[in-house]
Amino acid sequence: MGTWNSTSVPGFILIGLTDSAETKLVLSVLFLLIYLITVLGNMGMILIIHLDPQLHTPMYFFLTHLSFLDLSYSSVITPKTLQSLLTSTKSISFLGCFTQMFFFIVFVAAECFLLSSMAYDRYVAICSPLHYPIIMSTGLCCALLAGSYLIAFVYCTVVTVSMSRLHFCNSNVIQHFFCDTSPILALSCSDTSEVEIIIFICAGSNIVLSLITISGSYVSILSTILKINSTVGKKKAFSTCASHLLGVTIFYSSTIFTYLKPKTSYSLGRDQVASVFYTIVIPMLNPLIYSLRNQEVKKAALRVLQKT
């Protein structure tokens, strides 16, 4: 079923995570629970920030869109994965496969730049608190957000168009549970060296530029915090950045491990575990990280509940 004699296939077969019926059932229940928490957590975060006027600040403006991106790229992957686990349907059309890959990359790439914008926001808040309202104006926040989406769209378009020109003449079986770049490159019978270079440059520039911005911001933040004489002041400054820094560490460690490596180092088991983590688990963790560690969000949630 997976063998084709032509260079163009009408669709692909997603091999999934396992062939064991018992394991499929366990994973289905687990992923469904995680997805429900993801939807409720991120929608709850968006709703609380929208309804509480005290959270209408640049930091929570960016956090709203972080929740939207987490919810979006989780929804691109998880429902199809659940369908594959719960039914025998493993096929996906060529257009459906590349559409899934396109939107997934757009949302992930946009999140990279959004996390950079959040780091810059924290830098201004701690290093220039008196000028914070002036610097982080509504216009700048909207420009940073629009730039994140625009750059992500351009990057994703270049990657998707270059990959859509590949030939798949030997097999249409994707050794993965969703349409990602590495397993599709591994499946192609074309010379993928040029496409790999394009992906490496796009992904590398995306991640490196974001990390430079984040690292530079936190070096300045750390330098400023160390100059604070008050222990209470230091703790408050650290707590302001702790949630974002934890989210950045989890997100970038998994994406760097997955994308900044050649096709020859692709390993089905290892990459599937990493992919499950950053496509299904991380979108659930972010609202928990930013809400459980944030007293303002907790108080806002109580105010919203009291009003309703």
Q: Is 170 exposed, middle or buried (0-12, 13-18, 19+ CB in 10 A)?
A: middle
CATH number of residue 259's parent domain: 1.20.1070.10
Give the separation between CA 142 and CA 150, rounded to whole angstroms.
Answer: 12
109 domain-assigned? yes
Q: Which two tokens stand for residue 239?
A: 């707590």
Instruction: Determine the 3-state secondary structure of 175 from DSSP.
Output: coil
249 vs 42, 229, 242, 255, CA distance in Å?
Answer: 19, 28, 11, 10
pLDDT of residue 106: 93
The boundaries of the domain holding residue 218 are 11-307
Provide the mean pLDDT of the chain: 84
6 domain-assigned? no
1 domain-assigned? no
5 domain-assigned? no
User: What predicted TM-score, i.e. pTM, was given to this entire model?
Assistant: 0.87
Is 114 within 8 Å of 142 (Cβ atoms)? no
pLDDT in tens, 116-127: 999 999 999 888
Q: Which two tokens stand for residue 198?
A: 């394009």
Planar angle of CA 267, 90, 78, nearest 5 degrees: 75
28 domain-assigned? yes
Q: Which two tokens stand for residue 252?
A: 């970038």
pLDDT in tens, 266-278: 555 666 777 888 8
3 domain-assigned? no
pLDDT at 109 over 70: yes
Give the separation between CA 110 and CA 145, rounded to whole angstroms.
Answer: 9
pLDDT of residue 158: 93
**pLDDT band, very low/low/confident/very high, at 285 (cuts 50, 70, 90):** confident
156 domain-assigned? yes
Express as a percent the part of the chain with pLDDT over 70.
90
2 domain-assigned? no
Tell which residue, 117, 213, 183, 111, has the closest CA to residue 152: 111
List, as one string, the DSSP characters of 17-68: S-S-HHHHHHHHHHHHHHHHHHHHHHHHHHHHHHH-GGG-SHHHHHHHHHHH
pLDDT at 49 over 50: yes
Number of domains the chain is built from? 1
Beta-bridge partners for 148 = none
CA-atom Rg of the chain in angstroms: 21
Least confident of 104-113, 135-144, 170-179, 268-277: 268-277
pLDDT of residue 6: 40
